[in-house]
């Protein structure tokens, strides 16, 4: 099975980019983040025409996630369990596909530090950890893909010092990231590409970040131990980032038996 994840920064603005990439890459599952539309406005017909079922958790203007799958997803969960402050933000969707639970996640950006936004990010990561603990206790193999808004290491950012006080790389963020990994989860790209550097998944629209290759590696897959045992490859496809009307993120792809 091949599973991809892509923060598309508006699915309606990006429909041509995403459908053309799907025709080429042919993943079995595509996890989307930042669809920026309400559930009923998701362009599901375009994806159904390509042979994908759609599961969507959208909202007006911001956020929103979706899961496209050749096999029909079942037992769909449209929010991360646990108490959340109002207004609710559409950042998580999970479903059963084959013998995996597969989730699409859009972790809050959290900037700037010292604000309610950063507290919300930390609380969200703690809630994700609690949910992972539940799945692990039930021995359900799972794969969570998405825009984590976390830079795991210095080699995953073009200017580590410049990002030291950013919510994507600040020590409390990395501490929560490590708490997730310490549950026994595998971060697929780093596990299979232990020496890779400049393996970015995001380049800002501003300041010529893309042509200068000033990027961040913030889109990830986390796998439970049973899922990690079946992991065979994890790659980043830079091609879509260089195309017309590109998202500021590019897809990450995972293969497992």
Q: Which is nearer to DNA, 9 or 78 (CB)?
A: 9
Q: How many CB atoms lie within 10 A of CB 105?
A: 23
The reply to whether 10 sits near DNA by the rule CB under 7 A is yes
Site string for DNA, 25-44 (x = CB under 7 A): -----------xx-------
The reply to whether 12 sits near DNA by the rule CB under 7 A is yes
Rounded CA separation 70/133 (Å): 28
Q: Which two tokens stand for residue 126?
A: 């703690």
Q: How many CB atoms lie within 10 A of CB 74?
A: 11
Q: Which is nearer to DNA, 113 or 183 (CB)?
A: 113
The reply to whether 122 sits near DNA by the rule CB under 7 A is no
Number of residues that bind DNA (CB under 7 A): 19
Considering only residues 144 through 163, tell me which ones interact with DNA, judged by CB under 7 A. none
Dump the DSSP string for 146-181. EE-----SGGGBS-TGGGTTSTTTSHHHHHHHHHHH
9: alpha, beta or left? (left if phi > 0; alpha if psi -120 to 50): left
Rounded CA separation 105/180 (Å): 14
Phi, psi of 106 (to 5 degrees): -125, 90
Of 25, 62, 78, 238, the residue at the interface with DNA (CB under 7 A) is: 62
Q: C-alpha distances in angstroms, 163 versus 3, 112, 169, 170, 173?
A: 30, 12, 6, 8, 12
The reply to whether 117 sits near DNA by the rule CB under 7 A is yes
Q: Which is nearer to DNA, 89 or 186 (CB)?
A: 89
Site string for DNA, 204-223 (x = CB under 7 A): -xxx----------------
Give the binding range for DNA (CB under 7 A) out of 66-74, 94-102, 203-211, 233-241.
Answer: 203-211
**Binding region for DNA (CB under 7 A):** 9-10, 12-14, 36-37, 60-63, 108-109, 111, 117, 205-207, 245
């Amino acid at each position: 099975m091949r599973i991809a994840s892509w923060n598309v920064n508006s699915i309606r603005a990006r429909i041509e980019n995403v459908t053309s990439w799907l025709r080429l890459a042919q993943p079995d599952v595509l996890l989307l983040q930042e669809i920026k539309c309400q559930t009923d406005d998701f362009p599901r017909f375009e994806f159904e025409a390509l042979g994908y079922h759609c599961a969507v958790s959208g909202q007006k203007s911001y956020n929103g996630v979706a899961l496209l799958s050749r096999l029909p997803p079942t037992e769909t969960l449209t929010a991360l369990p646990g108490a959340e402050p109002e207004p609710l933000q559409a950042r998580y969707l999970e479903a059963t596909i084959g013998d995996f639970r597969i989730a699409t996640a859009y972790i809050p950006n959290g900037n700037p530090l010292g604000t309610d936004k950063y507290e919300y990010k930390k609380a969200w990561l703690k809630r994700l950890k609690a949910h992972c603990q539940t799945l692990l206790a039930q021995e359900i193999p799972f794969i969570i893909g998405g825009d984590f808004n976390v830079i795991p290491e210095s080699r995953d950012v073009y200017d580590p010092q410049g990002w030291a006080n950013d919510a994507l790389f600040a020590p409390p963020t990395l501490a929560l990231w490590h708490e997730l990994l310490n549950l026994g989860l595998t971060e697929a790209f780093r596990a299979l590409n232990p020496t890779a550097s400049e393996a970015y998944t995001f380049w800002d629209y501003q300041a010529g970040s893309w042509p200068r290759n000033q990027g961040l590696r913030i889109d990830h897959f986390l796998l439970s131990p049973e899922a990690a045992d079946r992991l065979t490859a994890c790659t980043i496809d830079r091609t879509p980032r260089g195309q017309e009307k590109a998202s500021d993120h590019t897809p990450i792809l995972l293969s497992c038996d």
